[in-house]
Structure 1
């Protein structure tokens, strides 16, 4: 390596140094420390003590943890199909090149970049038992006893999922819209000449040609569905009686309410393992339905 080449490499590394330091201090060190904490019992103000796999065994044996995992799966079952279907429908409707499409793209994307607190305040009013827009509509349609959406153990989690789907659908719409705009319009013209109707074009041309984008959106939605926190915290606080507590919120409760740092770290690594497993399963089945 010549001297000029060595100098160029040295200068490049010098410019990378601040980023590498920040990455190490604020990402890599916390990841390693959290993994070590997951094998400890540490109530933040006490001296940590090594307990091995006790935290993980307690999580697997605890009925509360089991309920939280089921809540997370139930939230995922609503959120993932919701954002993909709504995002895809909006993307198809706006993939027309009209001048007004730009306005509607911005309008549908706006909830995603809006303040979560502002969004939750609006939805709290919509879900309000006595004065909410939704229950007043139900009364108008003849429902005599509308439900208490946020106070009902059965409906609280679906309410959180509905708000999350509404807020995030615009983001997934843009991802799918980008995939739609890569399709050559001559493919549709040939299909029309062969007599294919719109619905058949959608299922036999559009879906296969954007299957790569759908796969990417699926992975993103699965990961995001396990990380919901802000909306749960602001809308229901995990209630009533833990009915809307998902895994990310449960980690927060154990870490920053009960100060069980070791237990929370073990939960975080189980969450990480679950996300990794889901991703691997999806990559395994990817070849069966994703068209390159």
Structure 2
């Protein structure tokens, strides 16, 4: 009995730092921010209880609705683009190319590179007058290439493009790991049956890769709601909030406008939306994921 009690006490002593850290830096801030979402608090003023006013204002404000639309557009571009490009890269690099190891590292490097450095490089690429991209388009015959980061029609797609470029290497590695678990004899059997490369991809690769694709889908969906650094460094949410997504809007309300209660309400709306999308994804998982 004493030995068992000693083991339990020893385990608690080792777990105590994690428990205390989780309590202080996770649970208490979550509970406190939820309580703050029912207050109007300007940081330097006294907090005033307003009930559901912050939540009501979110769904009646035209600015908030525009931000939700921007977030939806960004998520669609980011998730679809990341999945498609990562799948193509993973399939190409899984074919045993002599330089595949080099390209795996090259595509993964942007994911671990500092976001500010990436944003500065892409600001130069997107530059209207001196950027590499517009000069290339002019050389190809495009007379009036867009002002990528200054045009409301192109700012959000530009931010999504950079986000995809930064993260696709990580998703590629995950899918590549899934591809390498597929039994090569299945491809040999498909060749014997007369299946071409496209048929083998549709009938063998995709069905057996659906678990990895679902995993990448969930990660990309979560990442699409957390975009902040690239938006901040490229466009600062502009022009005219054209590239402002929900996570960046939370930052603006909390740390620029100091509307902490409103920002907390936005955060919980974002959590509810993300939770709903995740549940929907898991519900439809049984319809297309092959176990």
SS in 2 for 1:5: helix
What is the rounded CA distance, in whole Å, between the counterparts of 1:141 and 1:105 in structure 2? 30
What is the rounded CA distance, in whole Å, between the counterparts of 2:183 and 2:146 in structure 1? 48
* Structure 1 residues not aligned, in runs of 5+: none
Deviation at residue 97 of structure 1 after TM alignment: 3.9
Deviation at residue 101 of structure 1 after TM alignment: 1.7
Q: 2:177: which partner in 1?
A: 178
Q: Is it true that 1:204 corresponds to 2:203 in the alignment?
A: yes
Task: Indicate how the Cα distance of structure 1 residues 45 and 9 shifts in structure 2: closer, same or farther if over 3 A, else same.
Answer: same
Deviation at residue 226 of structure 1 after TM alignment: 0.9
Deviation at residue 96 of structure 1 after TM alignment: 2.9
Q: 2:231: which partner in 1?
A: 232
What is the rounded CA distance, in whole Å, between the counterparts of 1:102 and 1:22 in structure 2? 39
Deviation at residue 98 of structure 1 after TM alignment: 4.5
Deviation at residue 149 of structure 1 after TM alignment: 0.7
Deviation at residue 73 of structure 1 after TM alignment: 0.5
TM-score, with normalisation over the residues of structure 2?
A: 0.98
Q: 2:275: which partner in 1?
A: 276
Question: How big is each residue's C-alpha offset from its partner over 1:266-285, in whole Å with a ceiling of 9 and x where there is no partner?
Answer: 00000000000000001111
Q: 1:167: which partner in 2?
A: 166
TM-score, with normalisation over the residues of structure 1?
A: 0.98
Q: Is it true that 1:216 corresponds to 2:215 in the alignment?
A: yes
Q: 2:140: which partner in 1?
A: 141
Aligned-pair Cα RMSD in Å: 0.8
Q: 1:121: which partner in 2?
A: 120
Deviation at residue 100 of structure 1 after TM alignment: 2.3
SS in 2 for 1:131: coil
Q: 1:58: which partner in 2?
A: 57
What is the rounded CA distance, in whole Å, between the counterparts of 1:263 and 1:87 in structure 2? 37
Q: Is it true that 1:265 corresponds to 2:264 in the alignment?
A: yes
SS in 2 for 1:155: helix
